[in-house]
Amino acid sequence: MARYYPIMINIADKKCIIVGGGNVASRKVKSLLEYGAKITVISNNLCSELEKLNNHGRIEWFARNYEAGDLGEASLVFAATNDSDVNRQVYQEARKKGIPVNIADMPELCDFIVPSKIEQGDLTIAISTNGNSPALAKKIRIELEEKYGPHYVQFLDLMGNIRNSGMQEIADPEKREALYKELVYSDVLSILEKGDIAQAEKEVYNIFEKYKLKDIYE
C-alpha cells in the first residue's frame, strides 16, 4: 500500500460531493460541514441525520443514483455506497477529472484518507496508521485527548497574541524565535492546566518584557 502524504487543506466554500446517503456518508458530511465545505449528496435515499441536514438547507441533495458526469467541478469526492460497482465508477470518473477521491472501506481506491484526530481550539493532531488499523488510531487519539486538554486552547490564544506583539515590538527575528521557544518550554502550560489564567498571563508578560529589553539593549 502506498504511503499517504500528510497535508491539511482549506475546504471552506469548496464543493465536496458525497455519493451515498447512509450512516457512513452522514459522518463524512458532518465532518466536512465543520470546516465550511459546500456539500452535494447524491443518493436515492437519505438516513435520518442527512434528512435533517437537507431539511435545514445545510446540504444539496440529488435524489437519484449516481450518473457519469455528476462530479462536475468538485474539489473532493467521497463514495460511501453499498454497491462496489458504483463506488468504482465514482473512483474512475474522479481520477479522469483529477479530483481527489476517497472510497469508503476500499483503501486501494483512495487518493487520500481521513485520519483520526483530536482538536483543542487551533491545535489539531492527526493520527494515521496508513489504513492498517483504524482501531489503533482511535486508541492513540483517546490517549492524546487525555494529555492535550482544554488548557492548550488558552495557551494557543496567548501565543497568537504574543506572535502579533512580537512582530511589532521585537525587531530581531532570532530574539523573537527565542521568545516563542522559551514560552513553549516555560511553566505557562502547567499554570493554565491548574486553571490560574491570571498567573499564566503574568508569566507570559514577564517573559515578553525580558525579550523586549534584550532587543533594545543587546
The pLDDT value recorded for residue 80 is 96
Span 166-194, pLDDT tens digits = 999 999 999 999 999 999 999 999 999 99
pLDDT of residue 40: 98
pLDDT digits (tens, 9 = 90+) for 4-16: 888 999 999 999 9
The single-letter DSSP state of residue 58 is S
pLDDT tens figures, 72-103:
889 999 999 999 999 999 999 999 999 999 99
Q: Count, in order, helices (H) and strands (E) of the chain.
A: 8, 7
Which triple of cell numbers denotes residue 58?
445545510
SS3 assignment, position 64? coil
The pLDDT assigned to 203 comes to 96
Question: What is the C-alpha separation between 176 and 169, in angstroms, rounded?
Answer: 9
Mean local confidence (pLDDT), 138-153: 94
In a 3-state reduction of DSSP, which class is residue 193? helix
pTM here is 0.83
Residue pair 116/134 in contact (Cβ under 8 Å)? The answer is yes
Could you give the CA distance from residue 127 to residue 164 in angstroms, rounded to a whole number? Answer: 30
Does residue 1 have a pLDDT over 70? no
Q: Region 114-132: what's the mean pLDDT?
A: 91
Burial tier of 86 (Cβ tally within 10 Å: 0-12, 13-18, 19+): middle
Q: Residue-wise over 57-76: b if at least 16 C-beta within 10 A, else e?
A: eebebeeeebeeebbeebbb
How far is it, in rounded angstroms, from Cα 120 to Cα 146?
11
